[in-house]
Structure 1
Amino acid sequence: MPKLTIDKVTISYEVYGTGKPVVLLHGGAVDFNYNYVQTGWVQTLTENGFQVIGINFRGYGKSDKSNDPNFYGTTNFSNDVIHLIKHLDFNNVCLIGYSMGTLIAFDLLNKHPEYFSKAVLMATGDGLIGIPPYILENLLPGFARVFSYDSFPSHLPKHISAYWNFLNEVGLDRESMIAMSLGKYSTLTAENAAEIKIPTLIISGEMDLVLGKGQKVAQALPNGEYLEIKGANHFELVTEKKAHKSTIKFLNKN
Structure 2
Amino acid sequence: MQTFRNDGFELAYIDEGKGVPILLIHGFASTHFVNWVAPGWVKTLRDAGYRVLALDNRGHGRSQKSHDKADYTPRKMAADAAALLDHLEIPRAHIMGYSMGARISAFLALEAPHKVASLILGGLGLGMVEGVGDWDEIAEALLADDPDKIVSERGMMFRKFADQTKSDRRALAACIATSRELLSAADAARIDAPALVAVGTRDDIAGSAEGLANLLPAGEAFSIERRDHMLAVGDRTFKARALEFLKEHPLDEA
**TM, length-normalised to structure 2:** 0.92
Match of 2:152 in 1: 156
Match of 2:35 in 1: 35
Can you give the 5+ residue segments of structure 1 that lack an aligned partner in the other structure? Answer: none
Describe the SS at the equivalent of 1:15.
strand
Match of 2:113 in 1: 113
State how far apart, in whole Å, the 1-side matches of 2:170 and 2:67 are: 6
**Match of residue 221, structure 1, among 210, 216, 224:** 216
Taking structure 1 as reference, are residues 186 and 207 closer, same or farther at Cα in structure 2, changes over 3 Å only? Answer: same
State how far apart, in whole Å, the 2-side matches of 1:208 and 1:197 are: 26
Amino acid at match of 1:245: A
**Match of residue 231, structure 2, among 236, 239, 249:** 236
Tell me how far 1:7 sits from its aligned partner: 3.5
Tell me how far 1:216 sits from its aligned partner: 1.0
State how far apart, in whole Å, the 1-side matches of 2:234 and 2:185 are: 29
Match of 1:125 in 2: 125
Tell me how far 1:184 sits from its aligned partner: 5.1
Amino acid at match of 2:51: Q
Amino acid at match of 2:203: D
Amino acid at match of 1:94: H
Deviations 1:97-123 (A, max 9, x none): 001101101111122110011110001
Tell me how far 1:96 sits from its aligned partner: 0.4
The answer to whether structure 1 residue 102 and structure 2 residue 98 are counterparts is no
Amino acid at match of 1:123: G
Tell me how far 1:191 sits from its aligned partner: 1.5
Describe the SS at the equivalent of 2:124.
coil
Match of 2:182 in 1: 187
Question: How many residues align structurally?
Answer: 248
Percent of paired sites with the same residue: 27
Deviations 1:136-180 (A, max 9, x none): 5x64433211212332566333x5422111101111011111111
State how far apart, in whole Å, the 1-side matches of 2:203 and 2:75 are: 26
Can you give the 5+ residue segments of structure 2 that lack an aligned partner in the other structure? Answer: 250-254
Taking structure 1 as reference, are residues 143 and 160 closer, same or farther at Cα in structure 2, changes over 3 Å only? Answer: closer
The answer to whether structure 1 residue 174 and structure 2 residue 165 are counterparts is no
Tell me how far 1:91 sits from its aligned partner: 2.1
State how far apart, in whole Å, the 2-side matches of 1:153 and 1:40 are: 35
Taking structure 1 as reference, are residues 172 and 112 closer, same or farther at Cα in structure 2, changes over 3 Å only? Answer: same
**TM, length-normalised to structure 1:** 0.92
